[in-house]
Amino acid sequence: MSSRDVVLARVRRALADVPRDEGPEDVPVPRDYLRAHGSRTAEERVALLAENLAEYRALVHHTAADGLTALVTRLLDEHGARSVLVPSGLDPTWLPSSGPTRVDDRAASTTSRLDTVDSVVTGCAVAIAETGTIVLDGSPDQGRRRISLIPDHHICVVRVPDQVVDSVPQALERLDPTRPLTWVSGPSATSDIELDRVEGVHGPRKLEVVLLSE
């Protein structure tokens, strides 16, 4: 007997008390919990997102479309970025035409190569106001998972209010489970040393979220 058969047979024997005609759906799951905690206007939702992101020590910026390039340029400059990772589908006008060297997100790039890049700019799939979370799903404007992980500085552009939802349940509805998903709530952090919070052990130590109003 394979271990698969052994384990499944054990499971079935262990469940001798479950009536034969009971199906999974016969075990009720009450779903009377809330889809969102409070009702908000689009503006309030964006404001809550900004507040919660900031509480987790992400740096939050606001801009309209015509100010985006200048803002991104400034943020890269302030970080002293000499090079910036660019996902293939990122709107090219978001980045300064001169300035840091652009490094394309290529499957063939080695991790050591990526480790030499200072910053990365991405879009996002959805942002969650109640928890201060942005979610990346590997779409062309976000790139492979590793590019938002290795550089020390991540600038993430969220289109507001379109990409902002209230809650975790609403975010899951919008996401495609077949894509690799990365949920980010503030910069990398640890509290392993005497519970003192330290930002940035392995992921980017600086997370800047640009709320781009349309």
Partner 1 sequence: MSGTYLGMPAFPAAAASSTQDTRLRANLRYATHTIRDKRARAVAELDDWARLRAAGAAVKDRTLRHLDHYLEQLEEAVTAAGGQVHWAADAAEANAIVARLVRETGEREVVKVKSMATQETGLNRALAEAGISAYETDLAELIVQLGDDLPSHILVPAIHRNRGEIRDIFRERMGRWGRPAPEGLSDAPNELAEAARLHLREKFLNAKVGISGANFMVAETGTLVVVESEGNGRMCLTLPETLISVVGIEKVVPTWQDLEIFLQLLPRSSTAERMNPYTSMWTGTADGDGPRTFHLVLLDNGRTDTLADTVGRQALRCIRCSACLNVCPVYERAGGHAYGSAYPGPIGAILTPQLRGTASELDASLPYASSLCGACYEVCPVAIDIPEVLVHLRERVVQGGKVTRRGVKTVLKPAKGHAAERAAMRAAGFAFGHPGVLRAGQRLAGRTRRLHPRRLPGPGRAWSDTRDLPPVPAESFRDWWRRTRGEERGK
Binding positions for partner 1, 53-92, rule CB under 8 A: 56
Q: Does 198 bind partner 1 (CB under 8 A)?
A: yes
Q: Does 33 bind partner 1 (CB under 8 A)?
A: yes
DSSP structural state of residue 23: -
Of 149, 161, 162, 156, nearest to 133 (Cα)?
A: 156
For residue 191, which phi and psi values (nearest 5 degrees)? -125, 30
The single-letter code of the amino acid at 214 is E
Q: How far apart are CA 62 and CA 16, in angstroms?
A: 59
Q: Does 20 bind partner 1 (CB under 8 A)?
A: no
Q: How far apart are CA 29 and CA 127, in angstroms?
A: 27
From 45, 61, 79, 144, residue interacting with partner 1 (rule: CB under 8 A): 144
Q: Does 4 bind partner 1 (CB under 8 A)?
A: yes
Q: Does 47 bind partner 1 (CB under 8 A)?
A: no
Binding window for partner 1 (CB under 8 A); candidates: 66-74, 79-87, 118-126, 145-153:
145-153
Beginning with the edge strand found earlier in the chain, give each strand of the sheet holding 59-64 in spatial order. 59-64, 206-213, 153-160, 119-122, 83-86, 101-104
Q: Does 156 bind partner 1 (CB under 8 A)?
A: no
DSSP structural state of residue 139: -
Q: Does 202 bind partner 1 (CB under 8 A)?
A: yes
Contacts made by residues 196-199, CB under 8 angstroms, sequence distance 24+: 199/57
Q: Does 206 bind partner 1 (CB under 8 A)?
A: no
From 23, 41, 66, 97, residue interacting with partner 1 (rule: CB under 8 A): 23
Between 132 and 161, whose beta carbon lies closer to partner 1?
132
From 15, 42, 65, 70, residue interacting with partner 1 (rule: CB under 8 A): 15
Residue with tokens 């980010």: 184
Q: Does 149 bind partner 1 (CB under 8 A)?
A: yes
Binding window for partner 1 (CB under 8 A); candidates: 70-78, 89-97, 144-152, 155-163:
144-152
Which of positions 174-193 make contact with partner 1 (CB under 8 A)?
A: 177-193
From the CB of 93, what's the least distance to partner 1, in Å? 25
DSSP, collapsed to helix, strand or coil, labels residue 97 as: coil
Alpha helices in 80-162 (DSSP H): 111-114
From the CB of 122, what's the least distance to partner 1, in Å? 13
Q: How far apart are CA 84 and CA 95, in angstroms?
A: 9
